[in-house]
Structure 1
Amino acid sequence: MSQQPLLKVHELSKFYGGRIGCRDVSFDLWPGEVLAIVGESGSGKTTLLNCLSTRLTADVGCVEYHMRDGQYRNLATMPEAERRFLMRTDWGFVHQNPADGLSMTVSAGANVGERLMAVGERHYGRIRETAGDWLGRVEIGLDRMDDQPRAFSGGMRQRLQIARNLVTSPRLVFMDEPTGGLDVSVQARLLDLIRGLVQDLGLAVIVVTHDLAVARLLSHRMMVMKDGLVIEQGLTDRVLDDPREPYTQLLVSSILQV
């Protein structure tokens, strides 16, 4: 594992008028580490994720990314074209609603191929072969390669979105409620798939979820948010097995009572 963080976040804050989106968030993310950001609806976790992934512009603080050339770059001052290239190649973003992360009017194979073309691949045969390989890795049959995502179930769409994101070998993947809206049995299969791919590829992942079971299964470390603030953080098992803050204790106990 690298001796330097992949992402360095320093006192990040976002405000919506007089309302706090997130405030004074600082942490380092290491290569190969999975960080879960948890909290109830309105806690600020999605605002934080969008600031980290540059989908929102933070009002205060900075996010530095360790580029492949070994230099740290402030994402806020990075030129827009360079940031967009980073998002198409070195990063992935898995949306809660797969339709937000897929091209719904082109085939499953083309959805994966689009990302390959973004990194310069132009050979049709290689693109199709790689796309087929990735569809297999996310348990989508090759006989569905030429079908459009609109013909897929919700679970298949989410698996396709994961293949589309991972085909370029990103180093950092953002996930926003990746199992939200799926049946429990579909969620379980998807989580097993994600966990296996993350381990195999050595990905760094920041996953936002309100589901503590998802956080326990996927993450090494956890941050608990309330009213835009990180109120507790630590190793996932420590936070869930020995929560120190009353709010975290309430979250954990509510899961146990279900």
Structure 2
Amino acid sequence: MTDDMPLLRVAALSKSYGSRVGCADVSFDLWPGEVLAVVGESGSGKTTLLNCVSTRLMPTAGTVSYRARDGEWRDLYRMSEAERRFLMRTDWGFVHQNPADGLRMTVSAGANVGERLMAVGDRHYGNIRATAVDWLGRVEIAEDRVDDQPRAFSGGMRQRLQIARNLVTHPRLVFMDEPTGGLDVSVQARLLDLLRGLVADLGLAAIVVTHDLAVARLLSHRMMVMKDGKVVEHGLTDRVLDDPQAPYTQLLVSSILQV
């Protein structure tokens, strides 16, 4: 399969909660290996958009199409629930802001990573454990913590473990919801550096929701700015941040510069 076609197509996606708009008429393509940042203040609709695109939330209107490994396009909302769950276990990953939402807190770190491997058919205990240890090392978790439960880890370690759990199966697309939210600044910096390296090494496509423009600049190739559920600006990340056109984007950028 070639990379001269998008991996994901979102067309006129909308979600409303009664009279309240979550997101409205959002369209974009995502290409293999591309990282798209969706930015905006709280309530701008960015998390609603992410949840609709990742099939965690049913949209009110619009379509989301995914190009499968066989090259065929799949309408995600015409797939069965079982097919979508399989996609989430294999081709996709989802990194939550709160790592406890993306981990099993009462099983070991190694088991958290190993579960994803078993989901794609690995049944050899030795291979699973060795791969888990390797991935813990890649996210800077010591081998002697492989049998510790995540509840014994710091917040930064839990987030790194969640990243290992998601990336161990080499997914093609990863969704990230405020991946550095709630972490100390020094921990954020290390995590961002780790994420940037892994995304580049693995050639992942990713959609990253964040309110932090520094995170967007470090991680993403392209950026969408949302306000009141609508996209107000969309373009290459450096262009949007260095030469914002929409008044709302200008306000966001200037407020960061004044801090």
Which bin holds the TM-score, normalised by the shorter protein? Answer: over 0.9
Residue number in structure 1 paired with 2:206: 205
5+ residue gaps, structure 2: none
Residue number in structure 1 paired with 2:139: 138
Shift, 1:166, TM fit: 0.2
Residue number in structure 2 paired with 1:194: 195
Shift, 1:11, TM fit: 0.2
Which amino acid in structure 1 is aligned with residue 51 of structure 2? N
- After TM superposition, the score normalised by the length of structure 2 is 0.99
| Number of corresponding residues | 258
Write the mapping of 1:122-137 to structure 2, written as runs, cut at 5 A.
Answer: 122-137=123-138
Q: Kindly provide the CA deviation profile for residues 138-180 of structure 1, in whole angstroms up to 9, marking residues without a partner as x.
A: 0000000000000000000000000000000100000000000
CA distance in 1, matches of 2:234, 2:60: 23
Which amino acid in structure 1 is aligned with residue 23 of structure 2? C
CA distance in 1, matches of 2:161, 2:71: 31
CA distance in 2, matches of 1:122, 1:46: 35
Shift, 1:211, TM fit: 0.1
Which amino acid in structure 2 is aligned with residue 168 of structure 1? T
Shift, 1:135, TM fit: 0.2
Q: Kindly provide the CA deviation profile for residues 114-142 of structure 1, in whole angstroms up to 9, marking residues without a partner as x.
A: 00000011100000000000000000000
Residue number in structure 2 paired with 1:8: 9
Which amino acid in structure 2 is aligned with residue 36 of structure 1? A
Residue number in structure 2 paired with 1:18: 19
Residue number in structure 2 paired with 1:82: 83
Q: Kindly provide the CA deviation profile for residues 10-29 of structure 1, in whole angstroms up to 9, marking residues without a partner as x.
A: 00000000010000000000
Shift, 1:188, TM fit: 0.1
CA root-mean-square deviation: 0.5
Question: 4+ residue stretches of structure 1 with deviation over 4 A?
Answer: none
**Other structure's SS at 1:199 match:** helix
- The answer to whether the aligner puts 1:164 opposite 2:157 as a matched pair is no
**Other structure's SS at 1:4 match:** coil
Shift, 1:223, TM fit: 0.1
CA distance in 1, matches of 2:49, 2:11: 12
CA distance in 1, matches of 2:90, 2:104: 17
Which amino acid in structure 2 is aligned with residue 137 of structure 1? R
Shift, 1:212, TM fit: 0.1
- After TM superposition, the score normalised by the length of structure 1 is 1.00
**Other structure's SS at 1:121 match:** coil
- The answer to whether the aligner puts 1:150 opposite 2:151 as a matched pair is yes
Q: Kindly provide the CA deviation profile for residues 167-201 of structure 1, in whole angstroms up to 9, marking residues without a partner as x.
A: 00100000000000000000000000000000000
- The answer to whether the aligner puts 1:241 opposite 2:216 as a matched pair is no
